[in-house]
Amino acid sequence: MNTNYTDDLRLAHIMADTVDRLTLTKFNAHDFTVETKPDLTPVTDADREAEQLIRSQLSRVRTRDSVLGEEFGSTGTSPRQWVIDPIDGTKNFVRGVPVWATLIALLEHGKPVVGVVSAPALQRRWWAAEGTGAYTGRSLAKAKRISVSAVNRLEDSSFSYSSLSGWKELGLRDSFIDLTDQVWRTRAYGDFWSYCMVAEGSVDFAAEPELNLHDMAALVPIIKEAGGSFTSLAGVEGPHGGNALASNGKLHQEVLNYLGTEKTMG
């Protein structure tokens, strides 16, 4: 494997294995409590315990690295930063929908170089490290290489997103509806799922107007190593600017032109 990050990728898989056991047990037994955050989104004890589990492993074996997680914020300062979304898709998790995942990324000087997305209720995992290609499988040993689609016409393309509300808030509701008119089909697979589908070529592009670093960091190496592009809606290399467009690369500029967001958000 041609990468400087082999040990970090292995560690991310080991941490994902540990967290999967915790989250899947709680999900299957519906054994968790739900609270509402100040932004009115749900959070469970499973989100918090999953992040703590990853943090405690990192504090033992990566003592110098800094950590940023959705539920417990930022600790330490280092050019090497682990970025964690303990459960991406908490709304699905609390409703018993199996489309949720733990996202673990390593950034070096702000650039995501390792990403692991583990979705135990779907029995799926996706990962990449800089220079390795992108893979899916149950474990590192059982990996299948993945790549983005070859679709190069908007009218033949499949587009996935999470929810319409963010598009409305950014004044992009009409562009969004126009875009869905242009494509072959639109699906709201949502959350990490849209982006992993782009990486494995089942969806041609995914976009989201409101995302945080922890939502995007693990997805960036997976999309790029699968041969795709990941930018903000302003067209700046991602993760950047609190929003995202991930594509097979061939449709990227056409979608940006269509949305007009390079001019309005750039």
Question: Which residues contact ligand IPD by CB under 6 A?
Answer: 41, 85, 88-90, 162-163, 190-191, 208, 210-211, 215
Work out what residue 162 binds among ligand IPD, Ca ion, none; the CB cut-off runs from 5 to 8 Å by kind: ligand IPD
Please count the CA atoms within 13 angstroms of the CA of 238 that sit on its side-chain side: 34
Q: Site for Ca ion (CB under 5 A): which residue of 8, 20, 65, 85?
A: 85
Q: How far is CA 68 from the centre of its chain?
A: 15
Q: How far is the CB of 192 from ligand IPD (least distance, A)?
A: 7
Q: What's the rounded Cα separation, in Å, for the pair 128 and 105? A: 10
Cβ–Cβ < 8 Å for 88, 208: no
Q: Site for Ca ion (CB under 5 A): which residue of 20, 88, 204, 225?
A: 88
Q: How far is the CB of 66 from Ca ion (least distance, A)?
A: 19
DSSP percent split of the chain into helix, strand, coil, nearest 5: 40, 25, 35
DSSP state of 235: S
Q: How far is the CB of 144 from ligand IPD (least distance, A)?
A: 25
Site for Ca ion in 185-224 (CB under 5 A): 215
Q: What's the rounded Cα separation, in Å, for the pair 222 and 93? A: 23
Residue 106 or 256 having the CB closest to Ca ion? 106
**Does the CA dihedral 40-106-64-78 come out positive or negative?**
negative
Work out what residue 20 binds among ligand IPD, Ca ion, none; the CB cut-off runs from 5 to 8 Å by kind: none
Q: What's the rounded Cα separation, in Å, for the pair 126 and 143? A: 9
Letter string b/e over residues 33-59, b meaning 16 or more CB atoms within 10 A of that residue's CB: eeeeeeeeeebbebbbbbbbbbbebbe
Q: Site for Ca ion (CB under 5 A): which residue of 70, 130, 200, 225?
A: 70
Q: How far is the CB of 251 from Ca ion (least distance, A)?
A: 24
Q: How far is the CB of 88 from ligand IPD (least distance, A)?
A: 4
Cα→Cα distances 107→15, 43, 166, 185, Å: 16, 25, 27, 34
Residue 44 or 248 having the CB closest to ligand IPD? 44
Q: How far is the CB of 4 from ligand IPD (least distance, A)?
A: 29
Residue 227 or 239 having the CB closest to ligand IPD? 239
Work out what residue 229 binds among ligand IPD, Ca ion, none; the CB cut-off runs from 5 to 8 Å by kind: none
Work out what residue 209 binds among ligand IPD, Ca ion, none; the CB cut-off runs from 5 to 8 Å by kind: none
**Does the CA dihedral 132-114-139-216 come out positive or negative?**
negative
Work out what residue 120 binds among Ca ion, ligand IPD, none; the CB cut-off runs from 5 to 8 Å by kind: none
Residue 65 or 215 having the CB closest to Ca ion? 215
Please provide the size of the chain in residues: 266
By CB under 5 A, residue 51 contacts Ca ion:
no
Which residues bind to Ca ion, rule: CB under 5 A?
A: 70, 85, 87-88, 90, 215
